[in-house]
Amino acid sequence: MHYSVLQILKNGLTGNKGWKPVWRNPEPKKSYDVVIIGGGGHGLSTAYYLAKTHGIRNIAVLEKGYLGGGNVGRNTTIVRANYLQDGNLEFYSHSLKLWENLEQELNYNVMLSQRGCLMLAHNDGQYDAMAWRGNSNLATGDDAVLMGREDVRKLVPFLNFDDARFPIRGGLLQRTGGTARHDAVAWGYARGADMRGVDLIQNCEVKGFRIEGGKIKGVETSRGYIGAGKVGMSVAGRTSQVAEMAGLRLPIESHVLQAFVTEAVKPVIDNVISFGMGHFYISQSDKGGLVFGGDIDGYNSYSQRGNLPMVEHVAEAAMTLMPMVGKSRMLRSWGGIMDMSMDGSPIIDKTPVAGLYLNGGWCYGGFKATPAAGAAFAHLMATGKKADWATKYNLNRFETGHVIDDEGTGARPNLH
C-alpha cells in the first residue's frame, strides 16, 4: 500500500484499522533463482535492488531471527562519506547519493537527517591528515569543510576549548553527513522487496550448503532444503561461520562494538561529532537521546554485550570533550558483533564456489553502506560484474597486497 497524506488522514479518521501488513509471512518455496542469507539491512537492500533494478522476482531472503535484527538494528545510525582511501571514497560517495533519495525511492521515511558530521583534529599532523581526507572527498564529488579552531568553536561552542585533554586544533565537517532512523531503513527495504514479490522468510536458519561440482545448488535450512540458482551471504557478525559451511576461511575476525544512548533531553547537540583522540562519537536523536559509541572492546567476541572498560572510556571521553553532558544519564548500552576484516574494509565478491557470493567484513561501516552495498551486491549477483562504485572490495586483495587500509593499522582488526 502506498503511503500518502490521504492515507494518513483516511486511516486516522477510521481508527487506523485499514493499514496493511508491511510484509507478508510467506512459506518458503522449493527453490528460488536467488537466495540471500541474512535479513539485515544489507540482505534486504540486496533483495530490493535485485528485484527493482535487475528485474529478478524469484528471490528469498532467509533470516535466522527477525528482519532487521542484525547490525542495522544495533548501530549509532551515522551516515557519512568522508573516507580516505581509494575504493572507500567512491563507494561511500555513491552510498550517500542513494541515501539522499531513499525516502522517495522507498516511500518510507527513513528520517535521513543531514545534520553534518564533524571530525575533530587535535594537532597539526592530524589537521594535515584531515585536509588530505577533505581534499579527497571534494575530489570525489562529496562535500568537506576544513575548520580552524575558531570555526569549530562557532559551530559547537559547548565543547571544552579550555582544558580538554588533547586541545581542539580544528576539524573537518561534512555537511551532508548525518544520521538516519536505523530500523526504518531495514523496514523500508523489506517493504519494498516484499512489494516486488521477494519472499522474506523469518525464523529460518541456514544450516548448510549443497554444493555439487564446485557449484552451489541450494541451502539446508531449519525449515528444510531450499534450492537456489545463486546464493548471497550477507550475514555480518556470522560471516565466518556461514562461509565455513562452504569450506571457506576468511580474513575476518568477529568483535563486539558497544553503543549507548542516554535518557531523552531537550536538543543540545546538532551535529554528529567525532573525537578521534578519544575514540568517541556522539549525536542526538530526534527523540532527544544522546547516541554515542567508541571503539570495539578489543577482543574476539560473539556475545553481543560489552564490558566496563569501554563503557567507562567513552564516558570519560565525553566528559573531557563536552562536560555539559555530565548530568545526562546513560539509559541503555548494547553490543553488536562486527565482521572485522583484516584491513578494515569490506568484501563484496564472488567466492571460489560458483554461484556463491560474499558480502561481509564491514567492520563498523556497514550501516552507512546499506544502500550502496545492497545495490553493488545485487549488481554482482545479477550481472557477474563488479559495480562501478565497488570494484576494489575483492576477496583476493590480501593475497595480492591491494589492501584498503583507511586506518593504516595493518592486519590488526582490533586496531581498525
Partner 1 sequence: MMRAPALVQICIENGNMRIECPHCGDRDHREFEYLGSAKLLERPNGGDAAAYHDYVYLRKNPTGENTELWQHVMGCSAWLHIVRNVTTHEITEVKLARDLKEVAR
Partner 2 sequence: MSRLPSGGLIDRDVSIPFTFDGQTYTAHPGDTLASALLANGVRLMGRSFKYHRPRGVLTAGSEEPNALMEIGVGADRIPNTRATTQEVFNGMVAQSQNRFPKLQADMLAVNDLLSPFLGAGFYYKTFMWPKKFWEAVYEPIIRRAAGLGRLSGHADQSIYEKAWAYCDVLVVGGGPAGLMAALTAAKGGAKVILADEDFVIGGRLNSEQTVVDGKHSQQWAVDVATQLEAMPNVRVMSRTTVTGAYDGGTYGAVERVADHVEDAQGAPTQIFWRIVAKHTILAAGATERPIAFPDNDRPGIMLASAVRTYAHRFGVAAGQRVAVFTNNDDGWRTARDALAAGVTVTALIDTRTDVQPDVDCPTFTGAAVIGTGGRLGIERLSVRTSDGSVQQINADCLAVSGGWNPSLHLTGHMGGKPTWRDDIAAFVPTVGAIPNLVVAGAANGNFSTLGALKEGMVAAKAALKNLGLKQVRPKMPNADDAQDAISPYWHVPDVKGRAWLDFQNDVTVKDIAAAHRENFRSVEHMKRYTTLGMATDQGKLSNMGALAVMAELTGQSIPETGTTIFRPPYTPVQMGTLGAGGAGKGFAPERFTSSHDWAVSRGAAMIEVGLWHRASWFPLNGETHWRQSCDREVDMVRRAVGVCDVSTLGKIDIQGPDAGVFLDRIYTNMFSTLKVGKVRYGLMLREDGMVLDDGTTARMGENHFVMTTTTGAAGPVMSHLEFCAQCLWPELDVKMISVTEQWAQVAVAGPKSRELLAEVIDDVSNESFPFMGCGETSIAGVNGRLFRISFSGELAYELAVPSRYGEALMDELVKRAEAKGGGAYGMEALNVLRIEKGFLTHAEMDGRVTAADLGMSGMMSKKKDFIGKVSSQREGLINPMREQLVGLKPVGPVRQILGGSIMVNVDAEPTRKNMQGHVTSVCYSPTLNGMIALAFVKGGHTRIGQTIRAVDLLRNLDTLVEIVSPQFHDPAGEKLRG
- Using DSSP's 3-state secondary structure scheme, residue 353 falls into coil
Radius of gyration of the chain (CA): 21
CA-closest candidate to residue 348, choices 102, 95, 77, 106 = 95
As measured in angstroms, the least distance from the Cβ of 414 to partner 1 is 6
As measured in angstroms, the least distance from the Cβ of 172 to partner 2 is 8
Contact partner at residue 184 from partner 2, partner 1, none, CB < 5 to 8 Å by partner kind: partner 2
Give the β-pairing of 224-233 and 31-37.
parallel
Q: Looking at beta carbons only, is 192 or 232 nearer to partner 2?
A: 192
Give the β-pairing of 290-300 and 252-262.
antiparallel
If binding means CB under 8 A, how many residues of this protein chain bind partner 1?
Answer: 24
Neighbour count for residue 52 (Cβ, 10 Å):
18
398 binding partner 1? (CB under 8 A)? yes
253 binding partner 1? (CB under 8 A)? yes
Looking from the CA of 106 toward its CB, the CA atoms found within 13 Å total 28
Q: Looking at beta carbons only, is 13 or 308 nearer to partner 1?
A: 308
DSSP 136: H
As measured in angstroms, the least distance from the Cβ of 307 to partner 1 is 6
Q: Looking at beta carbons only, is 31 or 320 nearer to partner 2?
A: 320
Look up residue 27 and give its three cell numbers. 512459506
Residues 315-354, mask of contacts with partner 1 (x by CB under 8 A): ---------------------------x------------
CA-closest candidate to residue 243, choices 341, 344, 360, 345 = 360
Look up residue 328 and give its three cell numbers. 545526562
282-301 residues in contact with partner 1 (CB under 8 A) are 298-301
193-252 residues in contact with partner 1 (CB under 8 A) are 240-241, 249-252
409 binding partner 1? (CB under 8 A)? no
As measured in angstroms, the least distance from the Cβ of 215 to partner 1 is 23
CA-closest candidate to residue 48, choices 375, 383, 355 = 375
Can you give the binding site for partner 1, defined by CB under 8 A? 240-241, 249-254, 298-303, 307-309, 342, 398-399, 411-414
